[in-house]
Structure formats: structure tokens, C-alpha cells
Amino acid sequence: MTENSAPTTPTLEPWIREILRCPVTHATLVDGHGPDGAPELHSTDPENPLAYPVRDGIPVLLADDARSLRGA
């Protein structure tokens, strides 16, 4: 990486995205961003939408780390 290059956000391989599910609702997950612009995975469950952080390109799919998207 050169001095002027901005770091890029790592993306998940499509085959990994296909098998990942929300550990709470078992809904599929889609790319999203948190209030601070950090990458997240968002659950598509309309009854209980949750967001999971992505840290260093690794999704943290722990229920305790989930953030509710209700009212967001």
C-alpha cells in the first residue's frame, strides 16, 4: 500500500455470505453501516432487525454484540 492509498474495507466472499445467518433470528444478513460509518451485517428479519459489527473484516456474530435496528 502506498502512502496515499486509503485502506479498503475487506468484503466477504459470496459463498460465505450465502451461509451466514443471524444467530438470533436465523435471517439472512446483508451489508450495512453503523452510525459511525463502520461496516456491519444487518439481519433482514422484519420483526427483530439486528446489526452485527465487522471488525478487521471479520463478522462478529455474537448476540451480546448485536445492535437493534428498530427505530434506526
Give the model's pLDDT for residue 10.
54
In tens, the pLDDT along 34-70 reads: 999 999 999 999 999 999 999 998 999 999 999 999 9
C-alpha cell at 54: 465487522
Provide the pLDDT for residue 14. 82
pTM for this model (two decimals): 0.80
Q: Is 29 helix (H, G, I), strand (E, B) or coil?
A: strand
Asked whether residue 54 is domain-assigned, the answer is yes
| Arithmetic mean of pLDDT, 12-17 | 83
Q: Is residue 4 in a domain?
A: no
Answer whether residue 52 is part of any domain.
yes
What's the structural domain count of the chain? 1
Whether 1 maps to a domain, the answer reads no
How high is the pLDDT of residue 18?
87
Q: Is residue 34 part of a domain?
A: yes
Contacts 24+ apart (CB under 8 A), 41-50: 42/69, 43/69, 48/24, 50/22, 50/24, 50/25
Q: Within a domain: residue 8?
A: no
For 34, the domain range is 14-68
Question: What is the length of the chain?
Answer: 72
